[in-house]
Amino acid sequence: MPLKKGSSRSIVSSNIKTLVEDWKKDGSIGTSHPATKTKAIKQAVAIAMNKAGNSRKT
């Protein structure tokens, strides 16, 4: 499913949830295949924050 556009906290968290659900279904986020759920969540956060144009430190 495509990620939503926007930089609000609710949009970013929705995108993270979408990415993690995709990882649970087929074991990949985009072109990578994180081995553990923790790594998948970290990568989902990075992707969602990048899409929103934010840094993780904010």
Q: Which phi and psi angles does 27 have, rounded to 5°?
A: 75, 15
pLDDT in tens, 1-58: 789 999 999 999 999 999 999 999 999 998 899 999 999 999 999 999 999 988 766 5
In this prediction the pTM is 0.86
Q: Is residue 45 part of a domain?
A: yes
Q: Is residue 1 part of a domain?
A: no
Q: Is residue 19 part of a domain?
A: yes
Q: Is residue 18 part of a domain?
A: yes
Q: How many domains does the chain have?
A: 1
pLDDT value of residue 55: 76
CA dist., res. 57 & res. 36, Å (int): 23
Q: Is residue 58 part of a domain?
A: no
37: containing domain: 9-52
Q: Is residue 4 part of a domain?
A: no
